[in-house]
Chains A and B, each alone.
Chain A
Amino acid sequence: MTASGGPGRYTNADVELFDLDQLTHTSDQRSVGELLVDVDRQARLLLIDVTEDDAAQLLHAWPTLVSRAVDLWQALPHTPGHPAQTATSIDRVAQISHRISQRLRTSPWPPATAPDPRLSNMANTLDQAASLVRRFADRTPLSDAAREDLHAARARIMHSLYVATHAVTVSLLQHGRIRYHQAATSRRPLATPANQTPYAVAPTTAWVRRMSAAEAAAASFAPHGRLPALLNGEQRTPPADAGRLVRALAHWEVQAHRGLVCPDWLDNMVLITRTQALITGTAMVLVTAAAAGGILDLSPRLGPALERSGAAWNDLGSRWDDLTPANVRPSPQLLVAASEIRAATRNLTHDGAPMATPHTIATRPGFHEDLQAVLHALEHADELAHAVAEKGTTPGLTGRARALSIRAHNDIEAGRVAALEGDVVWVSPTDILAKHMVAAPPPVTEGLRASGEAVVQAATVAGAVASPAQSALANAQWDQSSAPVPTRKQAEQHTLSTGCTDRSEPGRQHR
């Protein structure tokens, strides 16, 4: 039977009805939209579970994924005039993918290997979606609803590419980190570049650079080109840039003070206090590593002072959290500064998600400068502590009814604030049930003021103890190249007690 065989029985357009290659032979009944949701889901799972061992396979699979995404993008009906369908981002990713694909054929690393099955599965799903679109897409003018659906499909394609590309970058950096540490313990350690990530070690350097470019291109699909500067900064700045933490701390100090004087200062309090807690905690980790590495003579007062300061900032943060609505909107500049602090400190103190060993931390490029910067920040933390403590005296503070009730009762029970005679109901059960924001009762405001004073006291003591350490470091003219590198055993023997638990933190049981 042919289209023209029967006298007028089939038109030419019906030929493909009998062409086995044109038919979508699958028991999969999912629509294009459902397939795209599946790709999105797979990308997220990949990012959650990615490890350093996946780097080579992911790199080999990534160009195919991009190729399939481009195929689908081009198969979708063209509707000009909407920012979501701009071809610039996908074209840029496709160009980078093409170069990576060529390079993979000639580069000694990564070795030839089977492509990652997860990315391949995503590519197949995209291919299936493209096949459906080519076969069944309606080429007639689209309705408004269909046009919206089309924009959603394009957005989901780029979003999935972005997440998957980020996963490849994460894997490459983890791979580089492992190589770096393995080499560090051998007789031929890798050279530590001054202003570059030590984890993008050869031969992964170029791949990290290319994938970062692809990631940035994929991320730029967002309408109006809006991309949160915080995440971009985290991904593009070399992780072990020696000056990163120094710059981040300087920027943070300015933004934290600005955050306290702006009209919406209340929304910034939790972020300010908890970021200070992180800085203090990081100082503890760095001091421990420095002591283990013989870089710093650990004063017996320094560890406890830092512990008290960190616990005090944390306690104050949890108290301001009670006074903040759940939909808190901190200042965007403060968010960027806090994100950068977190990213910079993690690069120094963490190995991927878990903590790095003191030995690893002490031998990182720029450790000396970062330690000095953190100690310097602690020296001046009392200024911020005073400003934060003053905010605790602001009249008319309100907070979440349930949280304030728990706080008031726990503070009285713990003897932190004076108790009145009899059992006082500080917050009406009606307000608790209705989840209202209510005026802070006296025990809460009293506890807040006391916590603020405790922060000032602890920060002042920590600053005073950190000051000589910082001076000693500055005078030591420590030369990283000639400094004795501590053995792993030495490093593990020198550990500060970090088992401090904030005893003042109230229980969360509702009274």
Chain B
Amino acid sequence: MIGEIVELLHQASEQTWHDAATESPRVSLGLGIDLAHAQASLLLPVDYQIPLGVVDGRTVAQLLRDAEHRTQTLPLHRPEMAETSDLVVALCDLIREAGHLDC
């Protein structure tokens, strides 16, 4: 499940940075997604391989929502999942930001 979240965030990051250049709002959003992506990656085992899917037509906001949706089934009570709450908060913040930027 975390692997899917990482994959979705990776896709969202690529899309956000694609047209960002120097325009600050998208750059900031892109870096935020990268940070959430790294947060999620740190929850994975070191050698875990992510099978990257083909880039589809989902928007950044949709990808973020899908990632947040997948966090709902994570076992929050397990010690190794202790930082998932923070990932959820980060995702919700990013969804709000992406919504304002019409990404």
A interface residues (Cβ-Cβ under 8 A, vs B): 37, 40-41, 44, 47-49, 83-84, 148, 151-156, 159, 162-163, 166, 219, 222-224, 226-228, 230-231, 270-271, 274-275, 277-278, 280-282, 284-285, 306-307, 310-311, 314, 317-318, 321, 325-330, 332, 335, 338-339, 342, 345-346, 349-350, 352-355, 400, 402, 435, 498-502, 505, 508
Contact = CB atoms under 8 A, between A and B. Distances in A.
Given A231-B86, A271-B34, A327-B44, A48 B21 contact: no
A353 B97 CA distance: 5
Contacts of B72: 37, 40-41, 44
Given A227-B86, A274-B34, A342-B35, A159 B51 contact: no
A274 B22 contact: no
Contacts of B82: 222-224, 226
A317 B23 contact: no
A353 B3 CA distance: 28
Instruction: Report, nearest first, the 7 A-B pairs whose CB atoms are least far apart.
Output: A310-B22, A353-B100, A155-B77, A152-B77, A326-B50, A281-B24, A222-B82
Contacts of B68: 44
A61 B49 CA distance: 45
Interface hub of B7, B34, B42, B100 (most chain A Cβ within 10 A): B34
Given A41-B72, A231-B89, A342 B38 contact: no
A301 to B, nearest CB: 15
A327 B50 contact: yes
A89 B24 CA distance: 38
B98 to A, nearest CB: 8
Interface of B: 3, 6-7, 10, 13-14, 17-25, 27-28, 30-32, 34-35, 37-39, 41-42, 44, 46, 48-52, 55, 68, 72, 75-77, 79, 82-83, 85-86, 88-90, 92-93, 95-97, 99-101
Contacts of B3: 327
Nearest to B100: A353
Contact of A500 (B21, B88, B92): B21
Given A222-B82, A284-B22, 15 more contacts: A151-B77, A226-B82, A228-B86, A231-B89, A231-B90, A274-B27, A307-B22, A310-B21, A325-B49, A326-B10, A332-B42, A335-B38, A349-B28, A500-B21, A508-B55
12 contacts: A49-B96, A156-B76, A163-B85, A219-B86, A277-B27, A278-B31, A284-B22, A310-B21, A338-B35, A353-B101, A498-B23, A502-B19
B86 A325 contact: no
A226 B23 contact: no
Nearest to B92: A47
B56 to A, nearest CB: 11
Contact of B20 (A224, A227, A314): A314
A259 to B, nearest CB: 12
Contacts of A282: 24
Given A162-B85, A329-B42, A345 B21 contact: no
Residue of A48, A84, A352, A498 with most partner-chain B CB within 10 A:
A48
Contacts of A499: 23
Contacts of B38: 271, 328-330, 335
Contact of A328 (B28, B41, B49): B41
Contacts of B48: 327
Contacts of A228: 39, 83, 86
